[in-house]
Amino acid sequence: MANITITQGASTADIAQWIATSLNAALAQSEGEIAITLPGGSTPFPILAELAKLGLPFERIVVWPGDDRIVPEDHAASNTGRIRAELEPLGAKIVALEEGITPPHFALAWLGMGNDGHIASLFPNTDPQPDAPAKVLRLTPDPLPPEAPFDRLSMTIPSLVNADALLFVARGEEKQAILEAGAKGEHDLPVARLLKAAQAPVTCFT
């Protein structure tokens, strides 16, 4: 079973404070920049707005989206564009995903998860492998989510678990049950494969 800590009922401000504490600890151990990866969707942005109030030295933080829809950055569906608009004015450096790019080791890998157990854009149909040779893949979810019917670029499991700490914000009992079952190896959804491969501690706020 993965080393996973689940906290129920945390507020947006609580989660932002946890992230700030984690990043400040990582920054204290580094003389230069640290890298983090963030999820897309609607969940992270209220938390990022709270994080922006906490005085982090964002100029030392390099931010990678864990996945993105293949659309221009000014498109409403672009994770990179939304992250850039939120964090670049604070001094953070934002890296857009490309095929063939090699993500760094992350101080924190913050991941989202769907009700089908997908993480980043590693949907069940993509059969993500913990030893995938590619670091970033272009892929097509099946079925395509109707709210975002686009091909994707996604980090693979080896890139996402190359981190000092993993974070999930997965609201609701259904997602908590999927995470807990995945940590115990009770299903083979993408999140279970990632948790099996993870060596770092995993924190989940539900």
Beta strands in 2-149 (DSSP E): 4-7, 34-38, 61-65, 67-69, 93-94, 108-111, 136-139
For the record, the structure tokens of 141 come out as 């979810």
Q: How confident is the model at residue 2 (pLDDT cuts 50, 70, 90)?
A: low
What pLDDT score was predicted for residue 74?
95
Strand-pairing partners, residue 204, are: 6, 168
Per residue in 29-53, pLDDT (tens digit) is: 999 999 999 998 888 999 999 999 9
Which pLDDT band, with edges at 50, 70 and 90, does 56 fall under?
very high
Q: What is the mean pLDDT of residues 44-63?
A: 96
Euclidean distance between CA atoms 148 and 53, whole angstroms: 30
Interval 153-190: pLDDT, tens: 999 999 999 999 999 998 888 898 998 899 888 999 99
| CATH number of the domain residue 161 falls in | 3.40.50.1360
Task: Specify whether the CB–CB gap between 182 and 189 falls below 8 A.
Answer: yes
Higher pLDDT, 60 or 147: 60
What was the pLDDT predicted at 165? 97
Q: Indicate the pTM of the whole model.
A: 0.94
| Residue linked to tokens 């030392």 | 60
The domain of 63 spans 4-205
How many domains would you assign to the chain? 1
